Amino acid sequence: AESVLFFFHGVAGSSEVWRSQIDHFGRQGYEMVIPDLIGHGMSATPQNLNAYTFDEIASDLLVLFDLLCKKRNVLVGHSYGSSFAAVIARNRPTRVSKLIMISGGSPTPLAPQPGLFQAPVCCLDCFTPLLHHQFFKSAFHKKSKTCGLRDRAFDIPSYVLKGIMNGQIWDEGDAEFHEWINAPTLLIHGKHDQLVSVEEEKEMVDAIFDCNLVVVEDASHMVMMEKPSEVNELIQNFLL
């Protein structure tokens, strides 16, 4: 196979959120690279919070991409993972043939949010059940039947979550940055996403030259877990 699919998950997820895509595209014979971001899934969880900054993760993923890319490479990012996909598409324009961003939102610079994640880790630990509850409420559609898999979408130590949330510093991620992306781009959005609005997705459509948006019914932020066959078909058609 001369082409590789790269999948990048978002905050608090892991490669497991792509389980349905792994099964589907594996059967099709695609080569896939599906990393767990640092602090997530099976990856190392260093105590040093500087390990979790945007720049650190982006440079890790660029190294990984350079090692494993082939002639044609397709990047698929979900949520925060979309930002890293955009960075690779922008920095490796001749290598990235297609870009897919799922629940990615608008082309906006990132900065740490004030509030809960500034609290000491011991306090965050107390809030973990609440954070889980809020996330599942916001990220999954109420009709969603993904109960058994849900826990894979949010499973992360408190100190890593703190590091990730405070490390979201990406000053250059504005519309102008995205205007330089020349790979054909597909945006996939769950209609009932409470974390990202369709208006934000439309701002991304305006920024990237060759970009289309598809809204999936009865789905929220974790659209690839909630509506796997629809999302797999959208990706497959886009690849072909």
Each residue's pLDDT expressed in tens, for the chain with a length of 240 residues: 689 999 999 999 999 999 999 999 999 999 999 999 999 999 999 999 899 999 999 999 999 999 999 999 999 999 999 999 999 999 999 999 999 999 999 999 999 977 888 888 888 888 888 888 888 888 998 876 665 567 777 888 999 999 999 999 999 999 999 999 999 999 999 999 999 999 999 999 999 999 999 999 999 999 999 999 999 999 999 999
- Counting the structural domains of the chain, the total is 1
Q: How confident is the model at residue 89, as a pLDDT? A: 98
Q: Residue with structure tokens 């990393």?
A: 35
Tell me whether residue 15 is one of the annotated catalytic residues: no
The closest of 134, 126, 166, 167 to 153, measured between CA atoms, is 134
The upper half-sphere exposure of residue 8, i.e. CA atoms within 13 Å in the direction of its Cβ, equals 29
Q: How confident is the model at residue 146, as a pLDDT? A: 60
Of the residues 15, 79, 144, 158, only one is catalytic, namely 79
Token pair of 88 as six digits: 């690779």
Q: What single-letter DSSP state applies at residue 174? A: S
CATH number at residue 55: 3.40.50.1820
Q: How confident is the model at residue 176, as a pLDDT? A: 98
pTM, 2 dp: 0.96
Tell me whether residue 221 is one of the annotated catalytic residues: yes
Question: Which residue segment(s) compose the domain that 74 sits in?
Answer: 3-239
Q: How confident is the model at residue 183, as a pLDDT? A: 98
Of the residues 106, 144, 193, 220, only one is catalytic, namely 193
On whether the CB atoms of residues 35 and 75 are closer than 8 A, the answer is no
On whether the CB atoms of residues 61 and 91 are closer than 8 A, the answer is no
Tell me whether residue 79 is one of the annotated catalytic residues: yes
CA dihedral 56, 94, 102, 86 (to 10 degrees): 40
What are the pLDDT digits (tens) for 91-150?
999 999 999 999 999 999 999 977 888 888 888 888 888 888 888 888 998 876 665 567
Q: How confident is the model at residue 147, as a pLDDT? A: 54
What residue ranges in the chain does DSSP mark as E strands?
3-8, 31-33, 72-78, 96-102, 185-190, 211-216
Q: How confident is the model at residue 86, as a pLDDT? A: 98
